[in-house]
Chains A and B, each alone.
Chain A
Amino acid sequence: MKTISMIPRSVQLPLSEDVVETLHAGDGLLLTGVMYVGRDAAHKRMIETLEAGEKLPVDLKGQVIYFMGPTPARPGKIIGSAGPTSSYRMDAYSPRLMAEGLKGMIGKGMRSREVKEAIRQYKAVYLGAIGGAGALLSSCIRKVEVVAYDDLGAEALRRIVVQDFPVTVVNDIYGGDLYEEGQSQYRSTPTGRESGRSPCGPPRRPISPRHPPRI
């Protein structure tokens, strides 16, 4: 694995394919520019829209989506606490959005094999933000507007402008996976994974490390 540089690199949003090609698992980045914000309910609606043959409320080509649902803003503030949510819940939806041109996703936690394959196929990237650092990440957000699904409240689709928003590349187009590579360096258990790399859930079939079950 590449040595992780503690000096992050500045990257402008939206992302071009040229930039995506330079990103490797473990890279620290500071993102500046526009990104979209949506989580479970907004994803569900976007996919239902596409399945109905209709256009999405926003054009996702070249864009980055941040899996996040903020706390309400205090008076005088533009947003409340704003850290990432668990990404695996978006696994069912992300490949379809990458097919629409989505270039980046920001969240926390593991992705499915299907998502990692789609990341390679569509030349996209999965970035990790620090879960539970919502107060700190909030201070990187300069502008917020709801662009669709206002009725969903905290889950509405938003467009935000960020400055020096810190993320780490988790899954890159070359198959790199920070979780697998980083953890293997510090793992002392002799026989590999206790039982595959899967989110917790009822065991439904034998688990292979390459094929985590979906919830």
Chain B
Amino acid sequence: MREIASRMVTETVSTLLQDGCYHLADDVITALRQAYEREESPAARNVLVQLLENAEAADRDEIPLCQDTGMAVVFLELGQDLHLIGGDLYEAIQEGVRRAYAQGYLRKSVVVKPFSARVNTRDNTPAVIHTTIVPGDKLKITALSKGFGSENMSRLAMLTPAAGRQGVIDFVVKCVDEAGANPCPPVIVGVGIGGTAEKCMLLAKQALLRRVGDPHPDSEIAELEAAILNRVNDLGIGAMGYGGRITALAVHVEVFPTHIAALPVAVNLQCHSVRHREATL
């Protein structure tokens, strides 16, 4: 059985989180440039130029793209034939978060008790961890720094099956419309459809991990993504909400089978500061 040391996990998580916070990924830069070329609104174009300049400054000086360096969300795909040695896997991840936020001069934004003692944990732990066991002997780690300007605009609807495809589109468009300027548009719209309530929300978050603008491999879902994107960009919200043609850079949909009584739809928005990285050990 293959073995890896849990300190490798710590080092990897730390590196992934720091890289994500300083260096905007190529797919996002390309999407922002394309948005600039297509945008008609002078105010929105001005915003898009500054976002590209911001990405350059962050990359050059290793200063975070955004001061909200988020809550860390870590996705694990753990091969069932892999053996972790030298310590607890989840603690290794938390230590990676601690290290990233201390060594990387990232903002510690996590409070202990959400509705009472909102005291900062001072090391940005705990991370939210989602684990899947898969065949093989590898460990894939995806680390996301999720800012809460966009996270706060998340929504879940348990639609009736009668609502159908149109109901799904209308709900997602309504969420983006109501969010307006708040989630720092242009956004990536993550949509989950199906499963149970919590599965649906997780799908919406996982949808944000796809390369920006890559359509879903299933053509029916890809067509739904395109239809929602058109409707969202007709809202006119534009970059920073100053009015414009590009409100979303992409809509990504993930789907899972559901119950005969249900049509769950979840929306998880991602601001333009898309910060996720992955590595396989």
Contact = CB atoms under 8 A, between A and B. Distances in A.
Contacts of B58: 81, 134-135
Contacts of B120: 153-154
A41 B174 contact: no
B197 to A, nearest CB: 14
B90 interface: no
B146 interface: no
B242 A85 contact: no
Interface string B193-234: 000000000000000000000000000000000000001001
Given A69-B107, A110-B182, A134 B243 contact: no
B29 interface: no
A132 B178 contact: no
Interface stretch (B4-12, B45-53, B74-82, B134-142): B45-53
B44 to A, nearest CB: 8
Contacts, number: 202
Contacts of B170: 194
A4 B63 contact: no
Contacts of B108: 153-154
B41 A71 contact: no
A189 B235 contact: yes
Given A26-B43, A74-B63, A85 B245 contact: no
A50 interface: no
Contacts of B242: 128, 168, 178-179, 182-183
B167 interface: no
A106 interface: no
Interface stretch (B125-133, B148-156, B158-166, B250-258): B148-156
Contact of B54 (A109, A132, A188, A195): A132
Contacts of A11: none
Nearest to B57: A135
Contacts of B109: 69, 154
B57 A69 contact: no
Given A179-B241, A182-B43, A196 B64 contact: no
Contacts of A195: 174, 177-178
Interface residues of B, number: 62
Interface stretch (A92-100, A115-123, A142-150, A197-205): A197-205
A69 B236 contact: no
Contacts of A187: 234-236
Interface string B173-188: 1110111111010000
Contacts of A108: 149, 181-182, 184, 240
B211 to A, nearest CB: 19
B73 interface: no
Interface of A: 4, 6, 26, 28, 41, 68-74, 77, 80-83, 85-86, 88, 108-110, 128, 130-136, 138-139, 153-154, 166, 168, 178-179, 181-189, 193-200, 215
15 contacts: A71-B69, A77-B63, A81-B63, A81-B64, A88-B182, A132-B271, A133-B53, A134-B67, A135-B57, A135-B58, A178-B243, A179-B242, A183-B242, A186-B243, A188-B236
